[in-house]
Structure 1
Amino acid sequence: MRVIKHFILFTIVFQWSITIYGQNKPNIILIVSDDAGYADFGFQGSKIMKTPRLDKLAKESVMFTQGYVSDPTCGPSRAGLITGRYQQKFGFEENNVPGYMSKSGLTGDDMGVPLEEVTIADYMKKLDYKTAFYGKWHLGGADRFHPLKRGFDEFYGFRGGARSYFPYENLPASHLDKMERGFGNFEEHEGYLTDVLAENAISFIDKNKNDPFFIVMSFNAVHTPMDGDEKDLKQFPNLTGKRKTVAAMTLALDRACGNILDKLKALKLDENTIIVFTNDNGGPTDKNASVNKPLSGTKSNHLEGGIRVPFLMKWPNKIKESSKYNYPISTLDLLPTLYVAGGGKVSDLKNIDGVDLFPYISGVNKNRPHESLYWKKDARAALRKGDWKLIRFPDRPAELYNIEEDISEHNNLANKYPEKVKEMYKQIFEWELTLERPLWQLKKKFEKFDIDRMDKYR
């Protein structure tokens, strides 16, 4: 009897220590949408898009009003996110486009995150997390870059940058567009891809409900091709053309996110799960009719509309609901933030550019997480320093904006503050000295170059 009493007491104390000291690791789901417009969610002010589940998530989260990506295009942005480093530091400066060859001889499949780079999944596995990746990879098509070789235990998705939302009846033009389960098991899905990806994530949650898990839910929605499900298109009778289709695709994205959240609640995991929702770059206002207002610019450029994205983070009882954080932060910060939340130490992380955001969110650290943020592609570059932003062009004078006072970047102050321009120009040059040469540069006319096909992967 005494032994039983001692066991019960030990169990109570152990559970209490988990609650007090945070030894019960939170589950983590990182949701990344693709090419969504900054203003194309209800929680971002849209009166057209129907996003009730994400709007509810926003009310339960902290909203980062100045959330940035590290590049205004898909591949480089994702390379920065998954490593917590400026991707230019390991030469991943341009999209990896299948079917083309760089000046150095690299083909599309060979263009990936170098193997010596440590991914967020590598780090989470060290903390005994079960790891999974669903959807668009776009970080290297060759086998050596495969998600299962970059820290993930499970993969269901496609290696490339864009594909049909409906099953292919014939083989796609690029083998990287084929759906793949695990490693090398290629088989087309049944149904609408956005829904199918969520279903696979839900299955993983069910299988690993007793273990801490880390999921990257990498939707290809709402990237082209413009494929709306018929039932979703019917929800927008007053819209036409691409705007109607992107609204339908966004509704499907919202539904898929909601289904994942419902599964967490059904398993009583929702109170111990961190949810992050963000986008990989600004919306392309031409190709999918996305809306970035009040931001100027679009995907592929360094105006705010190309690099500022919706950004939510929920952690029940840890992050204040329906709150806002107004200093600039970056998707580079996700790796250290989530690693620390899982029980890791910042000192374990080597050569990263992101920071742990929780001291800032909580108010313990009242400074800015970043005094400076950088962007670069070829000769184009941008620097956000405090509230000032300089954009450098290869073919015309630089532009200077005060983002705090001019979010839409309408008032170029370069002529008014020439010394500020000079100072920030010099800072960009100094940062560029820390970077590697690009491993590939696709803007030059290499053999078999096809600009229309390249644009598909942007």
Structure 2
Amino acid sequence: MKEWILMGVAAVGLSSSLVEAKQPNVVIILSDDQSWTDYGFMGHPEIKTPHLDQLAKESAVFSRGYVPTALCRPALTSIATGLYSHQTLITGNDPAKTAANAKHVEEAGKTAKELLISNIDRHGALPMWLADEGYLSFQSGKWWEGNFKRGGFTHGMTRGYPQKGGRHGDDGLDIGRKGMKPVFDFIDLAVKEEKPFFLWYAPFLPHTPHNPPERLFSKYRREGLPMTVARYYAMCDWFDETCGELLDGLDEKGVSKDTLVIYVTDNGWIQMPNNGSYAIRSKRSPNEGGTRTPIMFRWPGVIEPGERKELCTSLDIAPTIVAATGAKAPHDFPGLNLLPTLKGEAPLERKTIYGESFAHDIADIMKPEASLMYRWVIDDHLKLLLTYDGRQGQIKYPPTDFRPQLYDLVADPHENKNLAAERPDEVARLVKKLEAWYPVKERETVTTWSDEPVVLEPVKD
């Protein structure tokens, strides 16, 4: 046992205090389409999330957590691989029907969907690396990259492409909405075989359809609150209820103290009051309503509970799991191993994180920039957004102004006042950071403010 942990220490630079640690089980809880504000522990005045509130009390909670891209498939893939979307080439949910993609299909002799999924073979994913350390793993809920076995899971629910109806989770989407039995059956199996386990719990909640049980809907139905909003609130409550079942199940099976639980959401959601859709500055947007999420880590006796004020990204999840388990990944990570910080052994010195947004449908599965909509950077309390014209015709809410956006997230956490015109020096400084992180050569970049709105021509095939 010590041998594998020592190899993990050497691989990720962990302190030697982990050498005697027991190999933990790992559970990732993934919310689907939920705003960073929509929890009791994050201060929402109406939504009830008692089970996640309790998890927050027992966890290190990064209230300033982010996903690097605010759309489900690329967000989930970045968690599984530890890589940015422009690195995995999985930048959207589906390939678009474009001349570029038709050329790739002809040259490869494979469908565009298969070419997209094959990126998981090139990069690998957490279940693959954990399998090498003796872990059993279970996929439930959202999973886009083919059959669960394609991602390295030993057990799972999703049939995946190219099976009929195999897309984004298929049979796996029953988890939570139709009970938790498959998850608990898997945990029983792992305990019986005395194997450490990895659980991917990504239920189709609070994602649409917003059809909560009446017992929950009735809690929020009141005069003055649109029914669409009440239903969404109830869906958040329903999701929380299933998280409580899962966490209670870990307790009942006697494995909680040996389990690293990680919480994150794939992207935000701001419910429109007059229809079932989402607001412009939430899902798929680089604004706080799209990218921000609480990120929690619980490992009793190892991780110190409490609120963390530092910036955190979901890209930190993979290297932290690799470090905790002694696993070995085939590539370097842009995120950080947070264990030394979570254990109180070292401060988190990072002040800057980055993100990107692409079109829902991928214009060129070999060239991320063809679908690029935004690059963004948060440096301490300042956030800069740069806007691009990737596949405008496919965007539900296409950008109409390509001037830079600069926000002070301390004074203006909901990004209501664009400071770019007032602080051009800060814009220029942050543009340099973005260029050093992910240089873009094939798209026009507007880096200075002008009095007249800047509008770019839509991308053509």
TM-score of Structure 1 vs Structure 2, range by shorter chain: 0.7 to 0.9
Matched, 1:406 2:407: no
* TM-aligned CA distance change 1:444 to 1:197, over 3 Å: farther
Q: Counterparts of 1:336 and 1:434 in 2: how far apart (Å)?
A: 26
1:112 matched residue in structure 2: 117
Q: TM-score, normalised by structure 1?
A: 0.77
Equivalent residues of 2:158, 2:166 under 8 A apart = no
Q: Counterparts of 1:196 and 1:74 in 2: how far apart (Å)?
A: 21
Equivalent residues of 1:246, 1:290 under 8 A apart = no
Write the mapping of 1:367-382 to structure 2, written as runs, cut at 5 A: 367-369=348-350, 371-377=352-358, 378-382=372-376
Count of residue correspondences: 390
Q: Counterparts of 1:260 and 1:64 in 2: how far apart (Å)?
A: 21
Q: Which of the residues 183, 191, 207 maps onto 1:223?
A: 207
SS at match of 2:201: strand
Q: Which of the residues 325, 329, 336 maps onto 2:308?
A: 325
* TM-aligned CA distance change 1:32 to 1:436, over 3 Å: farther
Matched, 1:298 2:292: no
* TM-aligned CA distance change 1:177 to 1:388, over 3 Å: closer
Matched, 1:149 2:150: yes
One-letter amino acid matched to 1:212: P
Q: Name structure 2 gaps, 5 residues minimum.
A: 1-16, 106-110, 359-371, 389-400, 444-457
Q: Which of the residues 356, 364, 387 maps onto 2:337?
A: 356
* TM-aligned CA distance change 1:418 to 1:45, over 3 Å: same
Matched, 1:176 2:167: yes
Q: Counterparts of 2:168 and 2:72 in 1: how far apart (Å)?
A: 15
Q: Name structure 1 gaps, 5 residues minimum.
A: 1-18, 161-171, 182-187, 438-442, 447-458
Q: TM-score, normalised by structure 2?
A: 0.76
Q: Counterparts of 1:289 and 1:45 in 2: how far apart (Å)?
A: 23
| Higher RCO structure, 1 or 2 (CA under 8 Å, sep 6+) | 1
Return 63-72 or 417-426, whichever deviates more: 417-426
2:228 matched residue in structure 1: 242
One-letter amino acid matched to 1:129: Y
Q: Which of the residues 247, 261, 265 maps onto 1:279?
A: 265
CA drift of 1:251 comes to 2.2
* TM-aligned CA distance change 1:55 to 1:341, over 3 Å: same
1:29 matched residue in structure 2: 27
Q: Counterparts of 1:51 and 1:329 in 2: how far apart (Å)?
A: 22
CA drift of 1:63 comes to 0.9
Q: Counterparts of 2:166 and 2:301 in 1: how far apart (Å)?
A: 45
Cα deviation code 1:247-294 (max 9, x no counterpart): 222222112111111121112111111111110011143365779xxx
Q: Which of the residues 220, 244, 249 maps onto 1:263?
A: 249
One-letter amino acid matched to 2:299: W
* TM-aligned CA distance change 1:369 to 1:129, over 3 Å: farther
Cα deviation code 1:197-227 (max 9, x no counterpart): 6321111111111221001101111111222
2:108 matched residue in structure 1: none
CA drift of 1:410 comes to 2.7
2:89 matched residue in structure 1: 91
2:427 matched residue in structure 1: 421
Matched, 1:343 2:326: yes
CA drift of 1:384 comes to 1.5
Equivalent residues of 2:101, 2:112 under 8 A apart = no
Q: Which of the residues 105, 127, 132 maps onto 1:126?
A: 132
- Across the aligned residues of Structure 1 and Structure 2, the Cα RMSD in angstroms comes to 3.1
One-letter amino acid matched to 2:117: G
SS at match of 1:260: helix
Q: Which of the residues 56, 71, 85 maps onto 1:58?
A: 56
CA drift of 1:376 comes to 4.0
Q: Counterparts of 1:219 and 1:404 in 2: how far apart (Å)?
A: 32
One-letter amino acid matched to 1:211: K
**Structure 1 vs Structure 2: percent identity of aligned residues?**
25
Q: Counterparts of 1:113 and 1:419 in 2: how far apart (Å)?
A: 43
CA drift of 1:320 comes to 2.0
